[in-house]
Amino acid sequence: MKLIKIILLSIIGILLLLLLISFVLPEKLKVERTLEIKTKRKQAFNLVNNLKEWKQWSPWQKLDSNTIWTFNAIESGVGAKYSWKSQNPEVGEGYLSITKSFPDSLLKTEFQFGYMGASSGQFLFTPTTNGTQVTWTMESEVGSLPFYMQPIIKYFYPLLADMLGSNFEKGLNNIKVILESQKTIMVGDFEAEIRDFEGLNYIGIREKINGADIGAKLAQQYDSLQSFLQSEKANMKGAPFTINYSANNNVFDMMTALGTDNLLNPQPPILSGTLKPGKWLVVKYYGSYDKMSPVYQKGFEHLAENNLKPSGAPLEFYLSDPMTEKDTALWLTELVFPFIE
């Protein structure tokens, strides 16, 4: 009994000593990695600012093909968010959201990964002589954890810093490979890409609308479309969009639309349809909606200069939510020009 008592007291003493030592250990975990990439800041920023593009370069998205990824309706900029869940302990479960987005320069995120509690992340894009320096930083404070875990997690901070730092290096190198292998397309002042579109079912309301009434009309029509989806217990797929058939004397013939997983059967004025698979010229436009007209002209000029024939009405996909992001300079809209070669 005396031996057992000595052992128990020794264990308690060691635990108390470890607890006391933990009070002088760092309260914050900070990981930072930097890499120079031969690309324009705009290209590097856009690849990171769109959360659905993370599947191309994020090291965690490649660890487990069975991971369940869930994205909200906002793909880019403030308010964009995804969550994940995996049986793989290296992936675990958590969420990530964009909290601040300053075009071509800075991106801030908030995320939670398993037992680590809430953390903040940052991507800084700095121009260099040869391209862009991308700095990826993450900070986590022990105070975000339950009090009983705080002394323990401090001892693991060095190990976590090495593990996360290694993954940051992999991610930055993936970004470097992707961007340095891309051929840049510029339509006017905006970055563009040729995209293979897989097709999309949708519901929509088509109407001729005066230019001054577009904002109010679209809000009203999107409300009607959302209500229909709720009544059908169906989900929206992708970002809201419009199909822009023609414009004449400030009157716009357009379809307000929401993508759907399946082809639904609504009643007029709500219609259903399918965007067919094909080639798209996609222009990533940042700015207010009332200044898009010159970009349309540049888009059609690009098609003509490259002997590409338009194959349908142009579209606008609204990747930013004006209700969340008030700065119009940060609104991202993808202007789409379907074409055949």
| 73 shares its domain with 121 | yes
User: What confidence tier does 200 reach under pLDDT thresholds 50, 70, 90?
Assistant: very high
Q: Which residue has the higher pLDDT, 182 or 261?
A: 261
Residue where a domain terminates, one of 142, 163, 182:
182
Residue 40: give its domain's CATH number.
3.30.530.20
Does any domain span residue 187? no
Q: Cα(first)–Cα(last) distance of the chain, in Å?
A: 88
Give the DSSP per-residue string, 55-79: HHH-SGGGT-TT-EEEE-S--BSTT
| 30 shares its domain with 173 | yes
Listed ranges 63-72, 107-116, 187-196, 219-228; the one with the highest mean pLDDT = 219-228
pLDDT digits (tens, 9 = 90+) for 4-55: 555 554 454 444 444 444 444 445 778 889 999 988 888 899 899 999 899 8
Residue position matching structure tokens 């020009």: 337
Does any domain span residue 20? no
User: What confidence tier does 196 reach under pLDDT thresholds 50, 70, 90?
Assistant: very high
| 152 shares its domain with 207 | no
Residue 247 has pLDDT above 80, yes or no: yes
Residue position matching structure tokens 């990824």: 69
Does any domain span residue 29? yes
| 175 shares its domain with 243 | no
Give the Cβ contact number of residue 4 at 10 Å.
Answer: 8
Residue 157 has pLDDT above 70, yes or no: no
Give the Cβ contact number of residue 211 at 10 Å.
Answer: 12
pLDDT digits (tens, 9 = 90+) for 301-340: 999 988 999 999 999 999 998 888 888 988 999 999 999 9
SS3 327: coil
User: What confidence tier does 142 reach under pLDDT thresholds 50, 70, 90?
Assistant: low
Closest CA to 312 of 287, 277, 285, 337: 337
Q: ω into residue 269 within 30 of 0, thus cis?
A: yes
Residue 260 has pLDDT above 70, yes or no: yes
DSSP state at residue 176: H
Q: Which domain holds residue 201?
A: 192-340
Closest CA to 33 of 169, 162, 163: 169
pLDDT at 6: 53
Beta strands in the chain (DSSP E): 28-37, 68-71, 81-85, 93-102, 106-113, 118-127, 132-141, 185-187, 190-197, 200-210, 241-248, 251-260, 271-275, 278-286, 309-310, 315-318, 332-340
Residue 131 has pLDDT above 60, yes or no: yes
Residue where a domain terminates, one of 141, 159, 182:
182
Does any domain span residue 148? yes
What is d(CA 314, CA 100) in angstroms, rounded to the nearest whole number? Answer: 30
Residue 299: give its domain's CATH number.
3.20.80.10
User: What confidence tier does 165 reach under pLDDT thresholds 50, 70, 90?
Assistant: confident
| 267 shares its domain with 329 | yes
Does any domain span residue 15? no
Contact 173, 62 (CB under 8 A): no
Q: Taking the C-alpha atoms of 166, 169, 171 and 177 in order, what is their torsion angle to the nearest 10 degrees?
A: -140
Model confidence, pTM:
0.58
| 214 shares its domain with 324 | yes
Output the six-digit token pair for 250: 């400030």
| 111 shares its domain with 88 | yes
What is d(CA 212, CA 189) in angstroms, rounded to the nearest whole number? Answer: 26
Does any domain span residue 131? yes
| 151 shares its domain with 48 | yes
pLDDT at 17: 41
| 160 shares its domain with 201 | no
Does any domain span residue 1? no
| 70 shares its domain with 178 | yes
* Total number of domains in the chain: 2
Give the Cβ contact number of residue 162 at 10 Å.
Answer: 11
Residue where a domain terminates, one of 119, 153, 182:
182
Output the six-digit token pair for 291: 């200044």
What is d(CA 282, CA 241) in angstroms, rounded to the nearest whole number? Answer: 13
Contact 285, 296 (CB under 8 A): no
pLDDT at 13: 46
Q: Which residue has the higher pLDDT, 156 or 28?
A: 28
| 243 shares its domain with 306 | yes
Q: Which residues contact 276 (CB under 8 A, 6 or more apart)?
A: 199, 312
What is d(CA 91, CA 59) in angstroms, rounded to the nearest whole number? Answer: 10
| 330 shares its domain with 227 | yes
Does any domain span residue 48? yes
User: What confidence tier does 93 reach under pLDDT thresholds 50, 70, 90?
Assistant: confident
What is d(CA 76, CA 98) in angstroms, rounded to the nearest whole number? Answer: 8
DSSP state at residue 39: S
